[in-house]
Homo-oligomer: A and B are copies of this chain.
Amino acid sequence: MDIPEANGQAAGVVAQDAGLSAHEALAVVLQIRRGELCVLLWRRALPPCEGEWALPGGRLRPEESLGASIRRQLAQKVDVRDLSHLEQLETRSDPDRNPQRRTLATAYLGLVPADIDPVVPDDTRWHPAADLPPMAFDHASIVRAGRRRLRAKLSYTNVGFALAPPEFTMSELSGYYRAALGHDVAATNLRRVLLRRGQIEETGRSVPSGRSGGRPAALFRFRSLSLQITDAFAVLRPPGPGSGGL
């Protein structure tokens, strides 16, 4: 997949004079697995950073956008249809981030719902996002940026739809929130918050209680499966009645 070194270097020297540079798309793909926030990484078999873990992604092709590029490249790691959300994070451009050759990288945040278990290649594995293995280049800090972004957006958007399966009980959902946020989230209040904001709704069906009894849990679903800002302007909101003021 990589261009041979000699070729890459030669083209680089010529092209950089013309304002060109190598560019790759990377993705922080997150999923809640067994109650833990995990990130999809692959293990580099070749130098540089041999043996270290890296984010999926790779070179941008001439006629594709960055979004299309990361979708194409993720298809080699997971079924792209498994991705419930994808958004751009940031572009890293430190000239030394790749010691071999100057490479810009645009990072994306991808989310996979908790109910599916994509088949991944042999070199690829899910790692707890809170306990990363030795990682190549600046990829560890990119993972942390993705985690921060997810945590922030859980507070003011409906991005939970991308972590949860199509239907879920409130205790399941609070488990996803706990894993992503890193702290307890009371199911009873989460329910009210998300209902008031119009993020979720009851399906009308429920799940039979387990062997130890207990009231059957109602099934909910997210009302929208695309990103919506549900709590904009926490402060400094526009004045006047009807705008959220007094």
A residues neighboring B (CB under 8 Å): 3, 7-8, 11-12, 14-24, 59-67, 69, 88, 90-91, 93-95, 102, 104, 106, 152, 154-156, 177, 181, 183-186, 190, 193, 231-236, 238-239
Contacts and interface: CB of A to CB of B under 8 A. Distances in A.
A82 B239 CA distance: 32
Nearest to A183: B238
A93 B190 CA distance: 38
14 contacts: A11-B17, A19-B24, A19-B59, A20-B21, A21-B62, A60-B104, A65-B94, A66-B93, A156-B235, A177-B236, A184-B239, A185-B236, A186-B239, A231-B235
Given A3-B19, A15-B11, A19-B3, A233 B91 contact: no
A65 B105 CA distance: 12
Contact of A95 (B63, B94, B152): B63
Nearest to A18: B11
A15 B20 contact: yes
A14 to B, nearest CB: 7
Contacts of A61: 19
Contacts of A193: 235-236
Contact of A93 (B60, B234, B235): B60
B91 A60 contact: no
A102 B93 CA distance: 19
Contacts of A152: 232
Contacts of A233: 155
Nearest to A102: B62
Contacts of A67: 93
B12 A7 contact: no
A17 to B, nearest CB: 7
Given A14-B14, A106-B91, A155 B20 contact: no
A145 to B, nearest CB: 11
A23 B19 contact: yes
